[in-house]
Structure 1
Amino acid sequence: MGWYSHQRSHTGQDIFCFLGRHFYRVSEVLGKEMLKKPVGSLKCYVFFFQNIGDIIVTTPHSLLRLFKYQSLLFLRLCHLILDEVEVLLSEANEQVFAILDNFKKNIEVEGRESAPHQIVAAGVRWSRHLEHVIQEFMTEPYVVITAMEEAALCGSVQQVVHLCLESEKTSTLLQTLDFIPSQAQKTLIFTCSVAETETVCKVVESCSVFCLKMHKEMVFDLKSILEQWNKKLSSGSHIVLALTDDCTPLLAITDATCVIHFSFPASPKIFGERLYCMSDHFQSLTEQGSPAKPGDMKTRSVLLLTERSAGHAVGVLRYLERADAKIPSELYQFTAGVLEAKEEKKARRPLCPYLKAFGFCKHKRICPERHHVNPEIDMPRKLSDQAIPTFGYIKIIPFYIVNATHYFGRIVDKHVDLYATLNAEMKEYFEDASNKTTVEQVEKFGLYGLAEKTVFYRVQVLEMGQEEDQWALDKVLVKFIDEGRTGIVPRDQLLRLPESFRPLPPQAVEFIVCRVKPADGEIEWNPKVTRYIHHKIIGKLHDAKVILALGNTVWIDPMVHITKLLNLKTSVIDYNVRAEILSMGMGIDNSEHIEQLKKLYEGAKMPTVEKSLSQTLTPPSEGLRSTQQEDVDRGSEGRADSETDAENQKHETAPENTGDASINKTTEPLKSFHPQIKWFQKDDVVILRMRIRNVKDYKCKYFRDRVTFSAWVGEKFYLADLELQANIIKDDCKCAIKNDEPVITLAKERREPWRSLLRQRNPNVAFDFDHWEECEEESHFSKVVHTKNLSCKVAEVTSEDSDQTSEDDGSESE
């Protein structure tokens, strides 16, 4: 399919501009035969042809940016090529029309009237936006459409769909026929068999409508049928022809006014051939929108959709949407059921990579992967006797970088690093030359040892060379199960792996950095930013906060690299991976990412994970909080209360508010629990979130340098008495329930950053990192820990001026 407009021939100094949907895929294809010259830091390449001139290959967003910096370059722009035009107009509509407007203005510049100008738009589907492009920006357009179903959309054929049961098709057929037409009507009814043709013919004739029939057993009547069909009809006459698809080429009918699909077309091509039977009455683009002339025929396509063709409902709906047709609500409901059934069939498929990376999938209707959480296969995988952490803070080392936000690596457990033990034992074992036994018979999915220089790995064979491929016969594709990367290695390098090295599960974990996505509506990361992140993070220890974990995938935000300055008792954040991506200008904020993931998780009703790696109890540094509390076990933020084992801590306390009858439910001393508290600050207020839900009878009291909170949740009584490190304005403080959690807003007496919330540390109080970057610009916290200039941005982490920010399950308190 293509749209072409051209004036004169080129001069050899023209600029060709090739606009593609995804720049890097296009440039990789064209770049093999042409010299590449990047245009600054923009996503544009200039290819030079000796006899033609320059060719700019880019995307709409990048071309507009280039226009800002080199606007004079566009005076030479004579040839504009739009690839996948229907997608460009759908995903970058504003940018494409801005480019076309500039192109049109340059044509009108004095002295440029004689310059050659050409617009070529190529695509596979018709789009209503194309009408505007052709009418407004093309002179004497030449339109070529090779797919007849798309030509029908261009020709404004009315599309109608009727949902019915297979047993009700004949009655539905009669309802669609116009028995008293105001103009002469010629209707084709397409069937799938001889028997169905005979049945349809009888049903139509029973209503006193003249009906012809044609199928493979009546080829000898072809001439007679055509003579009757081609007779001139008087106004109000109606002729009907029931036929099978194999007769369409023989009849070569093009003047039908209505096509009824009694049987569902077997393919898009057959559907197009049926619609082509009305091609004489297709409206041209110049006719569309103008007043109808006497004698003009309105063409119509009627599709009967039954339970037998349910699998095609999604495609039908997409086609009707592009036709701007009136779509019955039943079809939307029917399609939703079909999509749900298709999704259920994909229950064992991997989770969609785009859904994981960005929280959405643009092509969910046709994507072959799963878009829902399956509790059976998405339970966090075990790395040892404990599962992958589902919350809290972890330390990770990325070993394989897929793209800017997608990595494979290991979670480092500070208490018991089983992999480090295994690695040491493997090294000791294989350093003995007698133990380096090569494998004679390699098995697919078998587990073996592999040496790379002085390091030994566990690898699993994924594919073996085919016998017909002599070059690859001695090669195998292996996966490094403890790092996540794959590679091709010679068979003779695989070593027999003793049974003692096999029990430890694969240690490679998939990590995805949240809340950032490629700019310009791209769905693939720019290789430049991927290379930058690769060199920055590969093989380094990072601190990260776990947002969610499913199967072998962990979503993290933030992910930072922290350097400890031991002599100064200080730590600094060298970089935040998400911030690095944003600073390059090749990524943008994706604030809905985490929310979309949580919706999927909550909808699946995943069972609670009882055990998780002890590393989840590790607090971050003062960037991911205090570095001096790494040896303290900490609870997880996933539990709403802060209760610990009753045998370890049994402190009982009476509530402070004895005047509240609802709180004094017993005369005996009450056991109270300290709620887990997350806090952050703004210029004038400090906000505390109590991580408890379904609160009843809550009460909050404010003092100048202290606040108390108490509440009942079921049978549990919660009490928090917080001594603040700075003063507040009591009358301006408030407490309210937001998102089913109590939120306390404390008004600062002085508008200045608080270095901590409390005078003394409390294991149940932590900084809220979900709001870290939100207040980064004004908070003392961010200024302290982020270091591009180390001398100015040192974070002091001492017991006197920082809160411990563990994610404790908490403890019973007095």
Structure 2
Amino acid sequence: MESVWEFLFQVMKHGTNTFTRFIYIFVINVNQPTIEEELVCARLLQLLNPDPLNTDVGSSEVTIGNVHCVSFQILMRNKYAGPSVAESYCWPAVARGCDTVLISHSGDQPLTYIPPFLAHMQLSSVFSALSARTGPIAVILCPGWEKAQTVIDLLEESQTFQVLHPMVILLGLGKDEAKTVKIQNNCQVVVTTPFSLVRLLRLHCFLFLRLCHLALDEVDLLFSRAPDEMTIILQHFQRVTASEERVSCPRQIIAVGKRWSRPLEGLILNHMSNPTVVVTVMEEAALYGNVHQIILLCLDCTKISVLLGALDFTPDVAQKTLVITNSAEEAENVFKERAAESTSHPAKSVLLLSERNARHVIGVLRYLKRTEASLPPELLHFAQGVLRAKEEQKSDKPLCRYLKSFGFCRDSSVCSYRHSISPITDQPLQPDSGTIVVLPLFIKTASVYYGRIVSKKEDRYESLAAAMTTYYAAEKLGAKEVLEGGLYGVQEDEVYHRVRVTLVPDKREWMFCSVRALFLDEGREQEVKSHQLLQLPAQFHTLPPQALEIIVCRAMPIDAEVKWNPKVTRAISQKIKGLQHQAKVVLCLGNTVFVDPMVRMTRLPGLKTFINEYNVHAEILSTGMGTSNPQHLDLLNELCQWYITGAKLPAIQDLYNGRVRGKPITFSETPVTQVIDCFLCYCTASGNQSTKSRTKKLLNSFYPQLVFFSFHPQIKWFQRDDTVTLNIKLREPVDQRCEFFPDRVVYSACVNDRPYRADLELHSNITAERCSWEMKCNEPVIRLVKQERGDWKMLLKQKSAFVSLDFDRFEEDEKKTSNGKILEPFALNSRS
């Protein structure tokens, strides 16, 4: 409790007067305080009121002996660290009832506005002024059902729940769903989404005639995902609050988010009165201030000259110029063009990008897209190569679950999962066509299930299950040791399951702890008590896991959501779990089968006739929370076709603008090698010919795999006085080829149908005709003979992330003595 009060006093430092009304409403007679709390409260009220503290007040005032900060309970339970700069400015404005816009890094957190919002709600006189009508006086709009649930949970934690009676309303597309909605008479706050509120307004607009407060949670997402609905809602709010009978009633709009967007300009101009605008993110403040963004490409060595060319030394109208550099040395160099000023009235931001900023290209482009700035085509082409390289770095990641479920990822540029087909990982492990009988056992989402394929002839799982039942009936031994990755048996009712332990907590007494276990033949993962694990004999290890992932195609959540509402998943689970369904396979990637359709077939009693009891796709849509996704299969097939052709790159628009919902991916025909050549040509034109090799070197150090479509093998090297040995870390390669030149070695091979190639530009010359290569321990080893004896400072002229020293040879090779000097096997200061 002490930390909360200390937090409060920190807030007071930003201005006591603005917080007076805000704090008084937090103090409410609900619990008997401790002596320490009474003293702290006395200090607080004395700080708020400079007059002598009067504890003998009437019933309309709050006494010192009966105070408790209701909304601070929310802060304590959520381990609130303290007021940020944004909240220090935002909270007073919200608590006073002002129209407020807040853009900050924490703009997606409801705590940035809910405490002062609740304070003002309790303090305002709207209850008595509008007592003749029923309906909520405040609506909190959230971008999706998940955020709406978070907000209602916070409101329920507050003591104001007993006064405001908030409720969450989420409506689907059902015809009669909106008609059956009932809002309690004492409900003062409704938490919902723009789509659900519009559905309500179409049938029950009279329920929202008392509306005084409108809170827009993550306002940037609200306008981007539901622009038409936001227009309807704001127009309704304006009509309701503009009536003559509402002159004395409060009126407030609160908009909180992480990003500034163009629709906010219209919100402030057309729907707010003298608003308080708080922007604590510098790049968002630049958007708010309409700073004109200019992007210039240059080499790092030519930045000063390019900067001088961008500035005007004889301006007609004097303006201040701020130049930000990477180092103090650069700042000194820039301080020497200091009289430079800009000629135009609007603020301008000039961004110089050099080859050293390659890793920042993605983020820069995403931001510049929002500024509507003119983007150099050379930068867009280069970014395509960066995107390809980043995607290749995800080769060991699982395929994006949204890509599989819906055919697209909302924002693939920031998603950590893979968005391209892998020839190894995605090799079909199940039938990729035809009709199968599936048994869904674990319903992950409304359209994604885990289960088994049921064979009409021989069901190997049923044989395994029977054998396990027989074995454990005779002997049931507990696991001696629980190891991560180990296989065990688990009994549930009368059924025995095979499980693999995926997570073991770091506890000494593992006997009494829970472990995370994957049920191999059902696909579900859950916690299991360690003492429930049974030894699993080796004969039960041989049958591969029988669970596979089943995805029903052409179904997606409504209202621009990417996550299914839990009530839809529950409804589908109750409908299909544990029942056999007939499904037509349209695609298979790895252990995932995509089916369309998937139906439940039942046999008529006494007949050989089967009827379709229901179609799972239709059942999802009938819940009202799902809609058809006709392009699902087209997008998946296009993804597979992109892998087959192999020479196309994703369009740069998808890089910084995110995936456009429902639109197929487009591709650029520009190969990676042309991308680099294009960038090199631009750099050469901007600088001089001598900088071309330096630029190529830096590009290769960032993304060496861009140069070729082949993969670069890992290489370990070490040297002696007269030779250099390269160990190529490839197991059992085929189609090998090695070419030697005086200053270069080129090696190529294939492993598992994947091409590998290493083109090594050596630091010093070799005697090509004396060099050789051979296979040792199923890996290629290359032996280079130096033209001149002595240590090489490095192996390559250009550093490569795939080449490194073989430090294991330090222990294997003994130090040798020559001419009275001790020679190391290779130089300690060598670099790859």
Unaligned runs of 5+ in 1: 205-210, 212-237, 241-256, 259-295, 382-387, 608-814
Q: Of residues 138, 163, 170 in structure 2, which corresponds to 1:16?
A: 138
Deviations along 1:111-145, one digit per CA (max 9) or x if unpaired, are 22332211100011110110011101111111111
Say whether residues 1:428 and 2:470 are aligned partners.
Answer: yes
Task: Report what 1:63 is aligned to.
Answer: 197
Q: How does 1:549-588 map to 2 (within 5 A)?
A: 549-565=588-604, 567-588=606-627
Q: Contact (CA 8 Å) 2:489, 2:535: kept in 1 or not?
A: yes
Report the Cα distance in structure 2 between the residues aligned to 1:167 and 1:187, rounded to whole angstroms: 22
Q: How does 1:97-176 map to 2 (within 5 A)?
A: 97-176=231-310
Deviations along 1:241-283, one digit per CA (max 9) or x if unpaired, are xxxxxxxxxxxxxxxx69xxxxxxxxxxxxxxxxxxxxxxxxx
TM-score, normalised relative to structure 1? 0.60
CA 1:10–1:530: 2 relative to 1, 3 Å: farther
Deviation at 1:572, TM superposition (A): 0.7
Report the Cα distance in structure 1 between the residues aligned to 2:389 and 2:231, rounded to whole angstroms: 39
CA 1:89–1:41: 2 relative to 1, 3 Å: closer
Moved more, 179-188 or 2-11: 2-11
Q: How many equivalent residue pairs? A: 510
Report the Cα distance in structure 2 between the residues aligned to 1:121 and 1:540, rounded to whole angstroms: 48
Unaligned runs of 5+ in 2: 1-85, 100-119, 131-135, 647-832
Report the Cα distance in structure 2 between the residues aligned to 1:89 and 1:491, rounded to whole angstroms: 49
Deviation at 1:311, TM superposition (A): 1.3
Q: Contact (CA 8 Å) 1:484, 1:508: kept in 2 or not?
A: yes
Q: Of residues 443, 450, 455 in structure 1, which corresponds to 2:495?
A: 455
Task: Report what 1:27 is aligned to.
Answer: 149
Q: Contact (CA 8 Å) 1:397, 1:540: kept in 2 or not?
A: yes
CA 1:310–1:472: 2 relative to 1, 3 Å: farther
Q: Of residues 313, 329, 339 in structure 1, which corresponds to 2:377?
A: 329
Deviations along 1:667-708, one digit per CA (max 9) or x if unpaired, are xxxxxxxxxxxxxxxxxxxxxxxxxxxxxxxxxxxxxxxxxx
CA 1:379–1:88: 2 relative to 1, 3 Å: same
The alignment's C-alpha RMSD in Å is 2.6
Task: Report what 2:560 is aligned to.
Answer: 521
Task: Report what 1:410 is aligned to.
Answer: 452
SS of match in other structure, 1:431: helix
Deviations along 1:396-419, one digit per CA (max 9) or x if unpaired, are 001101110011111112222111
CA 1:411–1:10: 2 relative to 1, 3 Å: farther
Identity %: 45
Q: Of residues 330, 339, 355 in structure 2, which corresponds to 1:196?
A: 330
Q: Contact (CA 8 Å) 2:441, 2:449: kept in 1 or not?
A: yes
SS of match in other structure, 2:322: strand
Report the Cα distance in structure 2 between the residues aligned to 1:550 and 1:556, rounded to whole angstroms: 12
Task: Report what 1:90 is aligned to.
Answer: 224
Task: Report what 1:439 is aligned to.
Answer: 479
Q: Contact (CA 8 Å) 1:446, 1:461: kept in 2 or not?
A: yes
Output the amino acid matched with 1:307.
Answer: E
Report the Cα distance in structure 2 between the residues aligned to 1:357 and 1:500, rounded to whole angstroms: 36
Report the Cα distance in structure 1 between the residues aligned to 2:139 and 2:221, rounded to whole angstroms: 17
Task: Report what 2:642 is aligned to.
Answer: 603
Task: Report what 2:209 is aligned to.
Answer: 75
Output the amino acid matched with 2:476.
Answer: K
Report the Cα distance in structure 1 between the residues aligned to 2:219 and 2:167, rounded to whole angstroms: 25
Report the Cα distance in structure 1 between the residues aligned to 2:497 and 2:637, rounded to whole angstroms: 36
Deviation at 1:439, TM superposition (A): 1.1
Deviation at 1:29, TM superposition (A): 4.3
Report the Cα distance in structure 2 between the residues aligned to 1:594 and 1:19, rounded to whole angstroms: 33
SS of match in other structure, 1:488: strand
Report the Cα distance in structure 2 between the residues aligned to 1:545 and 1:191, rounded to whole angstroms: 60
Q: Of residues 297, 301, 308 in structure 1, which corresponds to 2:349?
A: 301
Report the Cα distance in structure 2 between the residues aligned to 1:555 and 1:346, rounded to whole angstroms: 23
Q: How does 1:305-704 map to 2 (within 5 A)?
A: 305-381=353-429, 388-432=430-474, 435-467=475-507, 474-565=513-604, 567-605=606-644
Q: Contact (CA 8 Å) 1:464, 1:473: kept in 2 or not?
A: no
Q: Contact (CA 8 Å) 2:166, 2:189: kept in 1 or not?
A: no
Deviation at 1:74, TM superposition (A): 1.4
Deviation at 1:473, TM superposition (A): 5.2
Deviations along 1:554-591, one digit per CA (max 9) or x if unpaired, are 11110100001252321111100100111222111101
Report the Cα distance in structure 2 between the residues aligned to 1:406 and 1:583, rounded to whole angstroms: 17
Q: Which has the higher strand share?
A: 1
Deviations along 1:523-565, one digit per CA (max 9) or x if unpaired, are 1111111111000000000000111111111111101000012
Output the amino acid matched with 1:485.
Answer: R
Output the amino acid matched with 1:411.
Answer: I
Q: Contact (CA 8 Å) 1:351, 1:372: kept in 2 or not?
A: yes
Deviations along 1:77-129, one digit per CA (max 9) or x if unpaired, are 11100011011111111111110011111122342233221110001111011
Q: Contact (CA 8 Å) 2:294, 2:350: kept in 1 or not?
A: yes
Q: Contact (CA 8 Å) 2:151, 2:191: kept in 1 or not?
A: no
Report the Cα distance in structure 1 between the residues aligned to 2:472 and 2:326, rounded to whole angstroms: 69
CA 1:80–1:29: 2 relative to 1, 3 Å: closer
Deviation at 1:606, TM superposition (A): 10
Deviation at 1:354, TM superposition (A): 0.8
Deviations along 1:422-466, one digit per CA (max 9) or x if unpaired, are 11111111111xx21111111111001111111111000011122
Output the amino acid matched with 2:615.
Answer: N
CA 1:575–1:472: 2 relative to 1, 3 Å: farther
Deviation at 1:364, TM superposition (A): 1.0
Q: Contact (CA 8 Å) 1:458, 1:480: kept in 2 or not?
A: yes
Deviation at 1:181, TM superposition (A): 1.7
Report the Cα distance in structure 2 between the residues aligned to 1:38 and 1:319, rounded to whole angstroms: 34
Deviation at 1:18, TM superposition (A): 0.5
Deviation at 1:149, TM superposition (A): 1.9
CA 1:606–1:563: 2 relative to 1, 3 Å: farther
Deviation at 1:300, TM superposition (A): 1.0
CA 1:36–1:481: 2 relative to 1, 3 Å: farther
Deviation at 1:46, TM superposition (A): 9.2
CA 1:564–1:372: 2 relative to 1, 3 Å: same
Report the Cα distance in structure 2 between the residues aligned to 1:155 and 1:533, rounded to whole angstroms: 49
Output the amino acid matched with 1:357.
Answer: S
Output the amino acid matched with 1:19.
Answer: L
Q: Contact (CA 8 Å) 2:140, 2:216: kept in 1 or not?
A: yes
Deviation at 1:25, TM superposition (A): 3.0
Deviations along 1:620-657, one digit per CA (max 9) or x if unpaired, are xxxxxxxxxxxxxxxxxxxxxxxxxxxxxxxxxxxxxx
After TM superposition, the runs of 4+ consecutive aligned structure 1 residues lying more than 6 A away are: 1-5, 43-50
Task: Report what 1:784 is aligned to.
Answer: none
Task: Report what 1:262 is aligned to.
Answer: none
SS of match in other structure, 1:567: coil
TM-score, normalised relative to structure 2? 0.58
CA 1:301–1:399: 2 relative to 1, 3 Å: same
SS of match in other structure, 2:323: strand
Report the Cα distance in structure 2 between the residues aligned to 1:373 and 1:444, rounded to whole angstroms: 29
Task: Report what 1:723 is aligned to.
Answer: none
Output the amino acid matched with 2:241.
Answer: I
Output the amino acid matched with 2:203.
Answer: Y
Task: Report what 1:655 is aligned to.
Answer: none
Q: Which has the higher helix share?
A: 2
